[in-house]
Amino acid sequence: MRGPCTWLAVLATAVALAAAMPVPGPLPDLNRMPLFNPSRSTTMDLDQGKPIMVHYADADTQLSGYTCKDKITLGGYSADVKFACFTDAPAQAMQFWSQMGNGILGLGPTAQKRHDNAGHPMPPPVINQMAGSQDAKEDVLTKKFAFMSRRNAAELQLGGYVPGSIQGQMRTTKSLTPKGYTVGIKSMRIGKTFDDAQELINFSPRSTQHHVPAILDTGSPCIMLPGNDESGNLQFSPYGQYQDRMQPWSKMFITVEGIDQGLEISYEDLLVEHHTFLDAAWGTSIRPCVAPVTWSVASPHWTPIVLGAVFFRSFNVLFDNARASESVPPTVGFAKQNPAYDPIGIKEDQVAGKGGDGDAVHRVYVQHDPITVTHGGVTKVGVSNPNGHQFFTQVSVGTPPQRLRVVVDTGSPLFGLFVNPKAFGDYEKGVSDVPHRRPAPLEHTRGAQAAEVRGRG
């Protein structure tokens, strides 16, 4: 009888400590955030007749604004690009803004979402808009990129993949749909060897489909598994199977439809910090970043597996949109990382070379914040990342260029920047396509500019 009483006492203490923890600070002041400022760019074009409204399900956040167009530089390539200028968000989303840096670099395929929530046309993905542009060596950007990470480093490879970054060959398969980077997972096991490993995906005899769709999403921290039996198509919940396993395991084995070799992930590559309401009593724990999918999908559709940030620690993943269209899905490739390969550093963020198929590839530095997941409490099993997202890269926008830090997100197709609505008030232009005059400085920057002028004098 003593054990349960002790447990209840510890639990009560932990709950009291959690209740005493400080609440998040005040919402960020937009006037002090380093957001994109349209009024500072002589090449900026705004079309207020083209509003945009999008919803990000993983953050349960809706953002709205307008279609903008300006000069964008990513890696060694520059082009005039249309993108979303987000000017409005609900109060609860303001913290989301501050966590997401200056915006979102959506790298999803064109067919994923051509219109916003209100039916307005959305700008094409930034890679598609920049395709065909040339770098300083006159190399042409193609509609391909690859992405890989380590525990505290990551790299975006524009134009293909770097051969030296992988072991063996890049094995490719078609996405299940033109509307995303989705592969079919036929088997997922955890254990020490493939033969003795426990299967997490057990198909029911009544199921006519023998794969679970899996989304490749750099914007999600973990590998996320369905917490249901897929309307009876599975014998058990995959996440339930994972939770119920008591024996230690050292590897995860994944079989992807269309790939002739299994994917193997070490236990160590899945480890991250986990924080719960019991931290104050028991401290932080380090365990695999495997979580349940936190949204539901209506039958007959299947709840997908999500291959999030930790998946990219083991593989360099190729996203090939060269032949993708409304009816033709993109090609996805997987290759084991070469452990001797070092992702590019911040001081060398425009290194060019040749890719696996001979096309030019630019290696782009990606800041990787260590993954930390927070569990919401006793009843809330889902996880969230308190730092917003894990992967950030830098883009230059406008003339003169404004260097902005944006989230790298393969789960969405839209490139969008956060803009202080006041900046649009300072942005003055005439009829569309007529160059605008540069407006007066923003109010909160006048003092700094005056001081700069006095310093020169």
Mean pLDDT in order along the chain per 10 residues (457 residues): 35 32 41 76 84 75 88 92 84 58 90 84 92 78 95 92 96 97 98 96 95 94 93 95 95 97 96 64 74 82 94 97 95 97 76 76 86 50 44 93 92 90 68 37 35 39
Distance CA 46, CA 439 (A): 14
Three-class DSSP category at 230: coil
Indicate whether 456 belongs to any domain: no
Residue carrying the six token digits 């760019």: 41
Give the chain's domain count: 1
Distances (CA, A) of 286 to 314, 374, 392, 433: 18, 12, 24, 55
Indicate whether 225 belongs to any domain: yes
The residue among 312, 302, 214, 316 whose CA lies nearest residue 257 is 214
Indicate whether 34 belongs to any domain: no
Distance CA 129, CA 183 (A): 25
Indicate whether 4 belongs to any domain: no
Instruction: Supply the range of the domain harboring residue 226.
Output: 45-429
pLDDT score of 372: 63
DSSP class of residue 415 equals E
The residue among 295, 302, 317 whose CA lies nearest residue 166 is 317
pLDDT score of 383: 39
pTM: 0.82
Three-class DSSP category at 118: coil
pLDDT score of 345: 83
- CATH of residue 285's domain is 2.40.70.10
Indicate whether 27 belongs to any domain: no
Distance CA 114, CA 280 (A): 46
Indicate whether 222 belongs to any domain: yes
Pull the structure tokens for residue 327: 């009816």
Helix (H) or strand (E) holding 383: strand 383-384
Helix (H) or strand (E) holding 212: strand 212-216
Indicate whether 1 belongs to any domain: no
Three-class DSSP category at 164: helix
Distance CA 217, CA 181 (A): 8
Indicate whether 10 belongs to any domain: no
